[in-house]
Chain A
Amino acid sequence: MSREEHIREFATAALAEGRVDYFIGWQQGYNSSEVIPVFIRDAAEVEQLVWNPLCHHNLVTFLKRNMPDPPDAKIGVCVKGCDSRTLVALLQEELVDKDKLYVVGVPCDGIVDRRKLEKEFAAEMVAIEFPERGKVVVTTRLGETQEFAQDAVLLDVCRLCRYPNPVYADDTAGPLETEPDRKHTQPDWTDIADYENFSDDDKQAVLEQIYSTCIRCFACINVCPVCYCWDRCVNRSRQPELVSQKVGAKENLLFQMIHMMHVAGRCPSCGACDRACPVEIPLYLLHRKMNKEIYDMFGFEPGTSLDEKPVFQTFRIEDEFGD
């Protein structure tokens, strides 16, 4: 039985037994080249649910504050490994109620980066198929097809993923993926190594170039599953004013740093912000670096254990920081 069939089966059972009010999963978009989130309220509609390496959306975003409708709804939700870590981060802070959740974990072998395909092949894709594991076949509007190896078109965050299996789930859709041996390996931070080796002036020049394109649309903040202040976001505040209304690289970078510092210790680098950004700002430069330093300081990986507290909401007297 495929993972997709597992998900449908779990959704049918949960909806039919009334354990959940609605079930959040992924469905096919306008054509098979795209996947969008779907809310299933009726067991008869579960056929809409799909699972394939295009399901990049982090559905935990729909669980954060003010999102459940009604506010006390019982919700079923599908999570990949990275999504489950954001869910654990919310659970660590007791911001979602475990009893009102039904979590279906979906072991994941990596999500395909649609933007990479667009850049490398064609902008107008009408179908992306996965005939067998590890293979991606893309069809364009003009009928051209090309085959890619899945590893070659994976998202950057997936390439370095250490948690392919959900860390928290009530049910798991199919067999687990092979886990990396985490006890003996350090996380791989090679994706930001190039930038880190720049001189201070070069870093500033790169950041200026990157952040002059930011339009402050709040997509990264709205889509972030662990960023939940909504209208009370300090980024929107005029009194006190942290980010001015002026538009420029400085203000835009400060805007982004506010987001980063506010999710510090809770962001597991799921990469939802990178994918949501309409101007393709490489936000991973900031959140991957932040996670690298947090790992270096505390040996802490956000959202991996329900018993832990986010590192910036607690302290140890023995901490050795500063002089």
Chain B
Amino acid sequence: MAEETRDQGAENATATTEAGTAGATGEATGSPDTRRVKIIGIVCNWCSYAGADTAGVGRFKQPANLRLVRVPCTGRIDPLFALKAFEKGADGVLISGCHPGDCHYSEGNYYARRKFELMERMIHHLGIPQERFKWTWVSASEGARWQQVVTDFVAGVESLGPRQGRAL
């Protein structure tokens, strides 16, 4: 891959354990590519970022492949951020925010979910497999749910291994 995603994880709120590295060797697909998968998480400040924090404080074990980008609201997330991440060499993109109805700014996530839904469908149209892109809702108190979401998503991406993207 031409581009390496730079580590933005200096202020990583996730509980960083090395648990995720063992499965990232590409053994599942028999691929010789043994790099660890890199996943960009774009989360809203008020719910999912705090949810990730809750998971960390609660010492829930979760893979360390995820680098979080904190934005004020899911309504701020341009779906193109996900494409940019893929272009720059991310192996997966996870977007998360407040549950519908709980938006700190009342309605940001109502707009956002329409955009994400279209983006998800377009990403598959570009030949990026379903497992590599996910958007969901995690609230500030749902540390256990955050652990679940991250673990499942990372496992899905790891089963595909690092991306060999040819066009995006």
Report which A residues bind B (CB closer than 8 A). 196, 198, 200-205, 207-208, 210-211, 242, 248-251, 253-254, 257-258, 260-261, 264, 286, 289-290, 293-294, 297, 311-312, 315-317, 319, 321-323
Chain B residues with CB under 8 A of A257:
80, 83, 122, 126, 168
Cβ-defined partner of A322 (8 Å) among B2, B83, B87, B137: B137
Query: With A258-B80, A261-B80 known to touch, is A312 a contact of B129 (CB < 8 Å)?
Result: no
Binding site for A on B (CB under 8 A): 2, 78-80, 83-84, 87, 100-101, 107, 110-111, 113-119, 121-122, 124-129, 135-137, 165-168
Contacts of B110 in A (CB 8 A): 315-317, 319
* Closest Cβ–Cβ distance, residue A24 to chain B (whole Å): 33
Given B79, B122, B167, which contacts A208 in the complex, CB threshold below 8 Å?
A: B167
* A264–B118 CB distance below 8 A: yes
Closest Cβ of chain B to A235, distance in Å, is 10
Closest to A205 in B: B166
User: Are B114 and A319 neighbours in the complex by a CB distance under 8 Å?
Assistant: yes
Give CA–CA (A257, B2) in the complex, Å. 20
Q: A297-B117, A297-B118, A321-B117 are in contact. List 9 more A-B contacts (CB 8 A).
A: A204-B126, A249-B166, A250-B87, A251-B87, A257-B168, A286-B125, A293-B118, A293-B122, A319-B113
Q: Which of chain A's residues have a CB closer than 8 A to the CB of B127?
A: 198, 200-204, 207
Q: Are B115 and A312 in contact (CB under 8 A)?
A: yes
Interface of chain A, helix or strand or loop or mixed? helix
Task: For A204, give its contact among B80, B121, B135, B166 (CB under 8 Å).
Answer: B166
Interface CB pairs A-B, < 8 A, 14: A196-B125, A200-B128, A200-B129, A202-B127, A208-B166, A210-B167, A254-B87, A312-B118, A315-B110, A315-B113, A321-B117, A322-B100, A322-B116, A322-B137
Least CB separation from A298: chain B residue = B114
CA distance A321 to B126 in the complex (A): 21
Q: State A289–B121 Cα separation when bound (angstroms).
A: 9
Question: Which B residues are in CB contact (< 8 Å) with A203?
Answer: 125-127
Candidates B79, B119, B165, B167; contact of A211 at CB < 8 Å: B167
CA distance A144 to B116 in the complex (A): 54
B107 touching A315, Cβ below 8 Å? yes
Given A204-B127, A249-B167, the answer on whether A322 and B122 have CB atoms closer than 8 Å is: no
Output the least CB separation between B3 and chain A (Å): 9
Q: Which residues of chain B come closer than 8 Å to A248, judged between CB atoms?
A: 2
The closest CB in chain B to the CB of A248 belongs to: B2
In the complex, the answer to whether B118 meets A242 with C-beta atoms within 8 Å is: no
Question: In the assembled complex, which residues on chain B have CB atoms less than 8 Å from the CB atom of A322?
Answer: 100, 113, 116-117, 135-137
User: A293: which of B113, B121, B126, B128 is its contact (CB, 8 Å)?
Assistant: B121
Q: How far is the CA of A290 from the CA of B80 in the complex (A)?
A: 14
Whole-angstrom distance from the CB of B108 to the nearest CB of chain A?
A: 10
Contact of B118 with A290 in the complex, beta carbons under 8 Å:
yes
Residues of B within 8 A of A201 (CB): 127
B121 contacts A242, C-beta separation under 8 Å: no
